[in-house]
Amino acid sequence: MSIKRFVSALLTGALCLGVLTACGSAQKPASWGVSADAQRYSTIFYDAFDTVTQVIAYCDSEEEFSRQMDALHADLLEYHRLYDIYNDYDGVVNVKTINDNAGVAPVQVDDKILGMLELARQMYDTTNGKLNIAMGSVLRIWHDYREAAEANTNEADNKLPEQEALDAAARHCDISNLVIDENAKTVYLSDPDMSLDVGSVGKGYAVEMAAQAAETRGLKSALISVGGNLRAIGTKPDGSQWSGGVENPWNASDVYTASSSYVSGVNMSDMALVTSGNYQRYYVVDGVRYHHLIDPDTLWPARYFDSVSVLSPDSGAADCLTTGLFCMSLEDGQKLIESLDGVEALWCTPDGEVIQSSGWAGHEKK
């Protein structure tokens, strides 16, 4: 599938001035892996994971850049279809297929689903259950109320779920009922009323796998942003690192632009930067914002933070951790991050405080 590209001065300016700060010298020693003649290219597309994907890369030719982006785009679309919980696709067995067969029969799935589910199960243990992809029954209720609110022309008509309904749904969120047979490559939900929601891991895992595949195909210098989920490959041609920004949650916009404000900028090389925030998907009832990050303990939107960002060598793990950290206290989150090698975090609290893990400053732009 060809990519609908917008390689323009406007996009280049926005990316350079905004979160994807990547303008620099086009000269690079041969030892860096990209020829001295490598040029900077950029692209954007809109059809993967219901968000905007932006990529900056240095390649030896426009043809090479186009080849790399066609492959990257195809990879992201494949993951999008595999991890979809709402739609069916001809010839595709996806997470919706697993949910549709809950309590009925095991479903044989692609390795790309198995790998993602295994990571999610590991991160359930790492976050002490705060990251739980088995919460589909609860998250579906919140999703439906949010969708109804978006359809309302009058905010006064917006409603909240009944606690009784949330409690009933929560009885079907036991991750031990997710049965994975690695040898048979099957997934089975033994509780017929259980469903998976992989929104907290799917995009991050897909970005990581797509970036690794691009590197295998020879892409050596790039910055990928899928809905603000950043993954850097290598360095810029002059040997300097790529730059990423943590958006100000108290002055957030729907798209990253030159006028977006940031609470921290970081240097990135072969790293991922992922943020979860209460400003991304929400609706308002009686003046109160109800966002999509649901605390498994309360079954209501977590109130500890306005945003949490994670810097990690792995985009999938970072995606999981931002959700888990968002739903736990600062003290518990700090203990968790300090126990993980090569992982840093930044918390933005409701009272306007910005708190960094011990090693965040080592990555921060001066």
139: Cα within 13 Å, side-chain hemisphere: 23
Dihedral of alpha carbons 291, 296, 298, 299, sign: positive
C-alpha–C-alpha distance, residues 299 and 160, integer Å: 12
Residue 21 main-chain phi, psi, to 5 deg: -75, 110
Residue 98 near residue 189, CB atoms below 8 Å: yes
Q: Assign 12 to helix, strand or coil.
A: helix
Q: Assign 307 to helix, strand or coil.
A: strand
What is the enclosing helix (H) or strand (E) of 279?
none
User: 4 to each of 7, 47, 242, how far by Cα in Å?
Assistant: 10, 10, 25
Which amino acids are annotated as binding site, given as ranges? 200, 319, 323
Instruction: Give the tokens for residue 249.
Output: 């949650």
Instruction: Give the tokens for residue 348.
Output: 């933005």
User: 50 to each of 77, 291, 323, how far by Cα in Å?
Assistant: 10, 18, 19
Alpha helix locations (H) across the chain? 9-17, 62-82, 95-100, 111-126, 136-151, 163-170, 202-216, 315-326, 330-338
What 8-state DSSP symbol labels residue 164? H
Residues paired with residue 309 on neighbouring β-strands, in sequence order: 275, 346
C-alpha–C-alpha distance, residues 307 and 301, integer Å: 13
Residue 18 near residue 42, CB atoms below 8 Å: no
What 8-state DSSP symbol labels residue 241? P
Which amino acids are annotated as binding site for Mg(2+), given as ranges? 200, 319, 323
